[in-house]
Amino acid sequence: MKSGVVTALSFVAIAMGGLFLVSTLSNPSLDVFILARDLGLSLSALATGIAAPLLHRKFTSDEEGRQPNN
């Protein structure tokens, strides 16, 4: 259940970051600081969407291995 939620939210983050990146690159701002902010936000959304399932898988597999069998 939790991995499905993480996967769904990561797909949303990747989609939003990709759309924001395309929007920023297709109509860039003339102000350098606004352009840097928009690019930073879109790249961080993409990075979060890619890293979240990988980190979730890594840390949940460690927790499952530590639980004793009843």
Supply the pLDDT for residue 66: 63
**Is 68 a member of any domain?**
no
| Residue 45 domain boundaries | 2-62
Distance, CA of 37 to CA of 48 (rounded, Å): 16
Distance, CA of 26 to CA of 44 (rounded, Å): 19
pTM of the model: 0.78
Nearest-5° Cα angle at 50, 46 to 53? 140
pLDDT in tens, 13-68: 999 999 999 999 999 999 999 999 999 999 999 999 999 999 999 888 765 556 66
Supply the pLDDT for residue 44: 95
How many folded domains does the chain comprise? 1
**Is 29 a member of any domain?**
yes
The two three-digit tokens of residue 23, written as one number: 């929007």
Better pLDDT: 2 or 57 = 57
Q: Would you tell me how many other CB atoms lie within 10 Å of the CB of residue 59?
A: 10
**Is 39 a member of any domain?**
yes
